[in-house]
Amino acid sequence: MNSGNNESGTPVYPDYHYLLKLAQAKMSYGKYAGRYFVGLPESYFVWFSRKGVPQGEMGDMLRTVYEIKTNGLEYLFESLKGS
């Protein structure tokens, strides 16, 4: 699965293990506690981006899923369902 090229023209591939981790990550608090990050509505990520994303790994994961959603790359998670 090729997701594009880097500046030197070399193909860039998604990190399967990180995508799997994102696909299995769940929100630990708030309105959507217990729901998978990838299933959260995009509006929730927009809200976080305005209010401030948590520090640490959770924040990094939320930012990554937000980028995936806003760039129409949710298909990257399709092969991971049920993993």
Range of the domain at 60: 16-80
Domain contains 5: no
Domain contains 61: yes
Reported pTM: 0.73
Backbone angles phi, psi at 73, to 5 degrees: -105, 20
Domain contains 63: yes
Domain contains 6: no
Whether 26 has a pLDDT exceeding 90, the answer reads: yes
- Per residue in 29-45, pLDDT (tens digit) is 888 999 998 899 989 88
Domain contains 24: yes
Q: Based on the structure, what is the number of domains in the chain?
A: 1
The CA-based angle 57-63-67, given to 5 degrees, is 145
Domain contains 30: yes
